[in-house]
Amino acid sequence: MSTQPDQQDDRELPVAEWAKFFDKLSRRAEDVAVETTIELLGGEVPGVEAERLPLAGISYEDGDHAIAVDLGGRGQRFPVVLRHFVDRPRRVLVHDEDGQPAALAIVSEDGTTTLVRLHAAV
């Protein structure tokens, strides 16, 4: 495996690691501004749900077996938080760039994929 800084890597997260991974990603978003795009692939209403909004946090709610992606709520420009839920997720795939998560594909039980793209804020 290469250790080049521009290395791109894709991986699937085991369910046991979801909560810890999302907590770490949320803490990173507190320190570094991360803009987020959410796109749905498949399902009843495919398309872009949000484009380049600040990531407020992402969490795995084990009791409800759902993943919540929270956007906005970071100051006057984006005071409202959009909360996107993925019910009954089956898989979480992570695409890393330069050692950081750049995109997530969250596949739900019904086959809908929620694509979460993470961009460094400008």
pTM (2 d.p.): 0.86
Going by their DSSP bridges, the two strands 113-120 and 100-108 should be labelled as antiparallel
pLDDT by 10-residue block (mean), the chain, 122 residues: 49 97 94 92 86 94 93 77 94 94 96 94 70
C-alpha distances (whole Å) from 52 to each of 39, 108, 119 are 11, 23, 8
Report the chain's terminal Cα–Cα distance, integer Å.
31
Domains of the chain and any CATH numbers: 12-120 (2.70.180)
pLDDT at 8: 56
Alpha helices in 1-122 (DSSP H): 18-31
